[in-house]
Structure 1
Amino acid sequence: MKKDIQIPQVKDVHVAVVQEEHIEYKTKDWNAYIVNNTDKDLETVLIVSQGYTDTKMTPPMRHTISKLPARSYAKIEYLQEQVLELNNTFKVTFFEGNQMFDKSYLFRKNTINTKALQTIPLMQLKGVLVK
């Protein structure tokens, strides 16, 4: 029975954490985004995020995006500075047509920082990307 279940590999869907300037508060905030760098729309995108270490754990945050068009991105959540000191996971489940996809993205503790910034596909912003 288990051998009959096919789990397709997720390609060109990423989670990125980008440092952006908050105009109103004049601060630099870290925001998590989901990036759909495919030619197909993603439907019913479910995201569960959580930060953790051996001794600490944040409550899980749940997010839903009804449709994420091809070659686009959407904001998931704001990340407080204290959360960057934890391992941060983003479990992403979505449908592409009638096929369900699932992948976990992990940002290890302290890897989200200004030294790790790179250009994020589609966004033309600097951030930290997990593929």
Structure 2
Amino acid sequence: MIKDLPPNIVKDIAVAVALEGETAESKTWYVYIINLKNEPIENVLITSKGYGEKNGELVKTSVLRHSIPHIGPNQYKLIEPIDEQTFGLNNEYWISYYIGRDIFDKKFIFLPESIVDNNFIKLPVVNKPGVMIL
């Protein structure tokens, strides 16, 4: 039965962590989903969680769930703010969405310490500095 399902490979969808602003005391970060396709995606469901080891102890964050009804072609939507203290953890975003009647899903994982200045690019569509996973 599973062999009968189409592969539905996720392409042209990205998750990005963007630097929104900074003061002398702190930086403000947001996580976005970016639709780089020339068609809309619908019924977008996202789960996010952090996990890993910090100071020799296993750490897990709460699992958060988000729903976005529609993301147009070459548009982006805010998923959530993210705290710099979680950058030492794996930050996982599991995205599911529909194009027509077909469902797609993919896990995007920001590895520990991957959200650093050396990895910054100018994020497409969002036009802010940040780190992106395609």
Mapped to 2, the partners of 1:10 and 1:4 lie a distance apart of: 18
Instruction: Tell me what 2:32 maps to.
Output: 33
Mapped to 2, the partners of 1:51 and 1:74 lie a distance apart of: 20
> Could you list the per-position Cα deviations for residues 51-83 of structure 1 after superposition, in whole angstroms to 9, with x for gaps in the alignment?
001511111010000111111001101111111
Mapped to 2, the partners of 1:60 and 1:106 lie a distance apart of: 14
Question: Which deviates further from its counterpart, 115-124 or 40-49?
Answer: 115-124
- Is residue 89 of structure 1 aligned with residue 88 of structure 2? no
Matched AA of 1:56: V
Instruction: Tell me what 2:21 maps to.
Output: 21
Q: 2:125 aligns with which of 93, 98, 122?
A: 122
Shift in Å at residue 102 of structure 1? 0.4
Q: 2:66 aligns with which of 63, 67, 78?
A: 63
Root-mean-square deviation over aligned CA pairs:
1.5
Mapped to 2, the partners of 1:100 and 1:22 lie a distance apart of: 38
- Count, aligned residues: 129
Shift in Å at residue 28 of structure 1? 2.3
Q: TM-score, normalised by structure 1?
A: 0.93
Instruction: Tell me what 1:100 maps to.
Output: 103
Shift in Å at residue 22 of structure 1? 6.5
Shift in Å at residue 7 of structure 1? 2.8
Shift in Å at residue 27 of structure 1? 4.5
Overall identity of the aligned pairs, in %: 33
Q: TM-score, normalised by structure 2?
A: 0.91
Shift in Å at residue 115 of structure 1? 2.0
* Deviation beyond 4 Å, 4+ runs, structure 1: none
